[in-house]
Amino acid sequence: MNMFQQSIVTLPSMLDNDFYKFTMQQGVVRLFQGARARYQFINRGKHSFPPGFGQALRQSVDAMAQLQLTREEKRYLQVTCPYLDPVYLDFLEGYRYNPEEVHIEQHGDQLQVHIDGLWYRTILWEVPLMSLICELFYVMQHEHRISNDEVVDNTREKIEKYHSLGVNIAEFGTRRRYSYQVHRLVVQALRQYGTGSFVGTSNVHMAMVNQTKPIGTHAHEWFMFHAARYGFKMSNAMGLENWVRVYRGDLGIALSDTYTTDVFFKQFDKMFSKLFDGVRHDSGDPLQFADKVIAHYQRLGIDPMSKTIIFSDALNYDRVARIAAHCHNRIGMSFGIGTNFTNDAGPKAMNIVIKMTEAHPQDGEWTEVVKLSDEHGKYTGSEQMINLAKTILEIK
């Protein structure tokens, strides 16, 4: 066995992925079967990768071809997620990862990863691929972490502090976790000590193992694809419309910042505002965002207390406490906490993302896609296309 084989990191389950990947996949299977997509790894933290990392990652990715949905997992989805239809679950049972869709290169200490293929297939790669990169990085860097008991104790202390605030907490940390083992310890501790506060996890496998709720709806790529298909002006409206076509009122938390919150609320009209249960905050000042959401509902004659904001942007206790105090008795709220739960094990957490870069709608052509978050540092895409989107959407 060579040094790279010793470094292989494997995933335990087809469901070791964020829930919104499966919910979006059903939408793509239903509506956009011929669409293609390309994704790219972005090393925001400018991490240096050790020699042989690309080859070790290649072997870990190749091993994913062996994953398949088990009968037990399928039954879990049938019971827990009735909005996933039988045709989709049959499809998922037959789905296999195709490692040929993932292209990996290493030049010196820099890593390049690209994904290319039919969107309904490639949509599942992003989250597990990021978790593999993170775990493999710590393995090959020989990074030592705190003990299992310390992981559990730290998680217990965190969830008890959140419980004292009287807020709902979900775990959203799959993509940048320290390791699968740490992730599992964290969710077990949240389940054990988080009664009255912990409401579920974005990871479907962890939800099943711990008999809790998988949480999620859609991600930025849903609206990014719709911009390629329908144009920037129609991307939010058509993205919401097609979500309703598939889910008919279920999974009703809308992501609002793909092309800035201000642009989103111009199209989040009274019908959508009543139909969707709330919105998710993922960039920009959370207090300003909350004020905008509350004002939006009030203008439409909708009681903000009947709606929910899910906050999910780089949260820790201090940020949650500040947001909770600001929103108390003004609007419903819940908090999705990721890296602070699953990668608080000693070594510094990685800052990496994988984003859709191009989309090819059926009967269309390859079109570059962009994301214009409320926080400029989270913009993705070329400067030329970002400026074009800003001009079309009248973003200053």
List 200's β-bridge partners, or say none: 170
List 311's β-bridge partners, or say none: 281, 335
Residue 263: both structure tokens together? 């642009």
Question: Do 153 and 20 lie in a common domain?
Answer: no
% of the chain with per-residue pLDDT over 90? 95
CATH of the domain at 133: 3.20.140.10
Does position 4 have pLDDT exceeding 60, yes or no?
A: no
The residue to which tokens 């905008």 are assigned: 292
Question: Do 316 and 198 lie in a common domain?
Answer: yes
pLDDT in tens, 93-107: 999 999 999 999 999
pLDDT in tens, 242-268: 999 999 999 999 999 999 999 999 999
User: Of 294, 312, 342, which closes a domain?
Assistant: 342
**Inside any domain, residue 321:** yes
pLDDT in tens, 178-212: 999 999 999 999 999 999 999 999 999 999 999 99
Residue 16 identity: D
Question: Do 126 and 211 lie in a common domain?
Answer: no
Domain that includes residue 278, residue range: 148-342
Question: Do 101 and 229 lie in a common domain?
Answer: no
**Inside any domain, residue 393:** no
Does position 1 have pLDDT exceeding 50, yes or no?
A: no
Residue 209's closest CA among 89, 80, 83, 86?
A: 80
Over residues 22-30, mean pLDDT: 98
Question: Do 330 and 361 lie in a common domain?
Answer: no
Over residues 6-11, mean pLDDT: 83
Chain mean pLDDT for the chain: 96
Instruction: Report the number of distinct structural domains present in the chain.
Output: 2
Residue 47's closest CA among 319, 351, 337?
A: 351
Question: Do 219 and 166 lie in a common domain?
Answer: yes
Question: Do 270 and 372 lie in a common domain?
Answer: no
Question: Do 194 and 293 lie in a common domain?
Answer: yes
Distance, CA of 253 to CA of 282 (rounded, Å):
12
Is-contact 9 132, C-beta < 8 A?
yes
**Inside any domain, residue 235:** yes
**Inside any domain, residue 206:** yes
Question: Do 130 and 238 lie in a common domain?
Answer: no
Question: Do 114 and 161 lie in a common domain?
Answer: no
**Inside any domain, residue 388:** no
Distance, CA of 123 to CA of 364 (rounded, Å):
19
Question: Do 181 and 327 lie in a common domain?
Answer: yes
Residue 257 identity: D
**Inside any domain, residue 136:** yes
Residue 140's closest CA among 353, 347, 355?
A: 347
User: Nearest 5°: CA angle at 69, between 178 and 152?
Assistant: 30
Question: Do 208 and 153 lie in a common domain?
Answer: yes
- b/e map 6-32, b = 16+ CB within 10 Å: ebbbebebbbbbbbbbbbbbbbbbbeb
CA atoms lying within 13 Å on the CB side of residue 54: 16
Sorting pLDDT into bands at 50, 70 and 90, what band is 311?
Answer: very high
